[in-house]
Each structure stands twice: as C-alpha cells, then as structure tokens.
Amino acid sequence: MAKRRQQQESGQAANNFQFTLAGLIIFSLALMGGASLITWKLSQKSAARTEPYAVDTKDKSATVRSGAWGTLLTRDIELERPAEYLTEEVALPKPEIWSFAGMRPEAVKKLFAANGVSAGQIASAFAPGSYSEKNSGTELKPSESFLTSFTPEQRQKLYLALAGAGVNLYLDFPYIFPGNDFADICTSGHLLPEEVALLKQLAYPNGTAQQLSDYFFLLEKIPTLERRTKVTQALSRQSAVLARLAVQPDTDIDKIASYWGNVPNVRFTNIRPLMESLKQLPEGGSLSLLYFLPKFARERLYTFPLPAQTGDPVMDCHWTTFNFFNETPDNRFNDANYAVQFIQKNYYQISAPSQYGDILLLMNEKQEVKHSAVFIADDIVFTKNGNNYRQPWMLMRIPDLLTTYPATPPMKTVYMRRKTD
C-alpha cells in the first residue's frame, strides 16, 4: 500500500508546477511579452486591412492616387518592340538618303551654310558620287565622314532646321529620349561599348531630351543581324504606366460608375459584377484599367502596330485620339484639316482636364496641333506618340508626355472637352 501510494504521489508530482518567487516573476514577464507580440501582430494585420495598397516611399515607380475615378494603383513600366517586328528593318539596312524636293545642289549648300555647316563639311557632303541632281530636286547620300564630323551643337542646329521638311523619315520623326532615358540606354549593359560610343556621337540635344536621326547610318555600322536587333530594341524602349483600380469593402461603386460609365462604348453594367465580387473580399482587390477602356483602346493598349501596308491608315496621335470611343475607326482623321474642323465643331476649351475623355493638344507657335492624347484619370493619358510603327499605344503621365515633345519655344498645352447635346 505504501509503495502504491508513493507511485501515485510521484505521478501527481509530475503534473504539478512548483514556482519560486523568481520563477513567478520570469513567467509573468514571458506572458506579458507574448501578449505584446500578439497585440503587435494583430495591429499589423489591422493596418494591412486599412491600407492594403500602401507603397514603399522609396519606390518611385509605384503610386496610389485617389480621386473621382476611385483609387488608382500605378507602376512605371517599359515597352520595347518585339524582335519579330524588326526582321525586315534590320536584316538589310537601307542606306541613309536625304531628299531635298525642288532644291538644286547650290540651294542645299546655302541651306547647310545658314545652319552652321562649315565649308569643309559641305565639300565632304557634296563629294563626287555622294549626290545626284534630279528633276524632283537633289538627293544626297551623306558619307560617314560627313555624318561623324558634327559636334552635338552643329547637329542640333542643322537637324532641327531640316525637321518636318520631308528630307528623311528620321529627321522628321527622330528617336526622342526624354529625361534620363538616353543615359539609361547607354548604361544598361544591353549595348556593346563601340555601339554606345557611336550612339553618343550621333545623338543631339533638343531641350532636355536627346534625339537620334541617323538611325539608318547607325544600322549600317553594326555588322551582325543579332546586334542590330539588340540595338533597335534598346532604342525602341518606351516608358509607360501600368494602371489598376482598387476595390475595397468600403468602395462606393456608384460614385466610380459616375466617372467611368458616362462615356461612349464603355458598358459599366458589365464591369459592376466583378467589382461587387471584389468588394466582398476581406481586403478587397483590384482590376486592370483595361476593363474601363472602349474596344478601340482596349485592343491596342501596350502594343506596337505592324509596319504599314499600302492602303493602311496612318495610325498617328490624331487618328488615335478621335477614334478612342469609336466602335469602328474613322480614317478621315488622317486628314489634319478634317481633324481641326472636327475639334472646332465638337469641342470647347477648358483650363484643366477632370473628366474621362477630355483631350490634350500640344500646339506650336504657329498654332498648329502637333500632338493629341485622351485624358483617362489623375495625370494619365492614352497616347500614341508618332505616326509610325515604332511607337506603341500606351498610358503616360502628362509631365512625361510633355518632355517627349521638346520644342523651342516650348509648345503650348491646351485641354478640350466634348460638347454635349
């Protein structure tokens, strides 16, 4: 009996806690620490629920902006032309040719001299075999010695004087690298040192941007198809904006509908079920801005057009802007006069954009409209920067767009709104 009792007492002792005063203090502190940790974890989860879209302040490529459009989540991205679109262009580079319609060689020489070209450079340009005189004017095949003889300042003066005169495609529509884009290309590691050196030699400033017009000559100097493809892709890189709309449990969908749903060919009724389902999630969700674009823009956003074929419309900024809400593109917008008349008849000027579908116009000192784009929300526009296949359809911030169109003096920004019946 005594032995059995000892065994029972031993078993009971194994399930009992014996504390000293020091042990009680340590145990109490451990409980307090654990409670504090749990409280901190819960507060972190609560904060995540109240601010699920907070971004790192050091991450300059991402923003969260709220307004009549809702809560817009954006991130800067880069687009570049697919290699498949470059095959014909880079396989057999065309020689660089400058055509001066209605001008004899002496007239071209005078034009050069008036725009900073030295006598020696002019003699190099018009060396035997470098030019031909035709009924239509003068055709010049600029030599390597001529093209590489310019200082950046000389190239800037001459090339800006020739821009828009139909002398060469890339004089009229150069590669433009706003802000730090040119430096980023040169330091990205995608180009070989000799390619960077040639690119820097051919680039010239225009305002705060760098430009490249001697693209054909650049391709001629690159010996392999692989490297020509790599260089062209690097040059084609475009900064754009990727955007999503946040939907949280407390989001007012009716308010968002009043912003996004009052434009042609955007059927908000079709979007609402998805938004309502996201609203039911504990922390909400987000959906691409593609859902809020009409068919024309939705099918083209973040894509590059194929090289134009005979009979294709010129898919420039105006064709893009004024077809934005159309189910079927209207190719009459290829006619600049028709586009101007359409603006005068259907739009009125406003001080700043605030409604989805307002348009932005860039006008030079001659009051010519050089660019147009569609306002989406916040400071974002839908744009195609140029009339050729090198330019994608994309979303851009207005300040970035303005740097893409450098001019002296700077172009004037005008905002317009569609008249309502």
Any idea where the domains of the chain sit in the sequence? Answer: 62-80+239-418, 83-238
Q: Which residue has the higher pLDDT, 17 or 297?
A: 297
How confident is the model over 296-324, as a mean pLDDT?
91
Q: Which of 97, 95, 88, 80 is nearest to 137 (CA)?
A: 97
How many Å apart are CA 118 and CA 349, to the nearest integer?
47
Percent with pLDDT over 70 in the chain: 86
Q: State mean pLDDT over 226-238.
A: 93
Q: What is the mean pLDDT of residues 145-165?
A: 96
The band of 421, judged by pLDDT with boundaries at 50, 70 and 90, is low
Enumerate the β-bridge partners of residue 99.
139
CA distances from 349 to 337, 358, 359, 419 (A): 19, 10, 10, 10
> Could you report the per-residue pLDDT of 313-345, keeping only the tens digit for each?
889 999 999 999 999 999 999 998 899 999 999
pLDDT in the model for residue 17:
39
pLDDT for residue 88 is more than 90: no
Q: What is the DSSP letter of 33?
A: H
Mean pLDDT of 15-41: 43
Q: Say yes or no to pLDDT of 303 above 50.
A: yes
* 73: phi then psi, degrees, rounded to nearest 5: -105, 120
Quick one: pLDDT band at residue 48, thresholds 50, 70, 90?
A: very low
Is residue 297 within 8 A of residue 393, CB to CB? The reply is yes
Higher pLDDT, 6 or 87: 87
Task: Check residues 215 and 27 and name the one with the higher pLDDT.
Answer: 215
pLDDT in tens, 62-77: 889 999 999 999 999 9
Residue 100's pLDDT band (boundaries 50, 70, 90)?
Answer: very high
Angle CA 394–413–156, to nearest 5: 80
pLDDT of res. 54? 52
Instruction: Choose between 302 and 336: higher pLDDT.
Output: 302
Task: Provide the pLDDT for residue 59.
Answer: 63
The most distant pair of C-alpha atoms in the chain lies apart, rounded to whole Å, by 131
Q: Which residues of 119-156 are buried (b: 16+ CB within 10 A; e: fewer)?
A: eebeebbbeeeebeeeeebbbbebbeebbebbeeebbb
State the burial class of residue 239 (Cβ atoms within 10 Å of its Cβ: 0-12, 13-18, 19+): buried
Confidence of residue 24 (pLDDT cuts 50, 70, 90): very low
pLDDT of 254 higher than 80: yes
DSSP character at residue 309: -
pLDDT of 84 reads 85
Q: What is the pTM of this model?
A: 0.80
Q: pLDDT value at position 406?
A: 87
Cβ distance 164 to 407 under 8 Å? no
Residue spans of beta strands (DSSP E) within 284-332: 285-288
Task: Compute the distance between CA of residue 78 and CA of residue 64 in angstroms, rounded to an integer.
Answer: 19
Kindly indicate the confidence band of residue 132, based on its pLDDT and cuts at 50, 70 and 90: very high
Q: How much is the pLDDT for 56? A: 55
Residue with the larger pLDDT of the pair 66 and 53: 66
Strands of the sheet containing 62-67, edge to edge, are: 62-67, 70-79, 238-247, 285-288
What does the alpha-carbon distance between residue 258 and residue 310 come to, in Å, rounded to a whole number?
Answer: 43
Query: Is residue 19 pLDDT above 60, yes or no?
Result: no
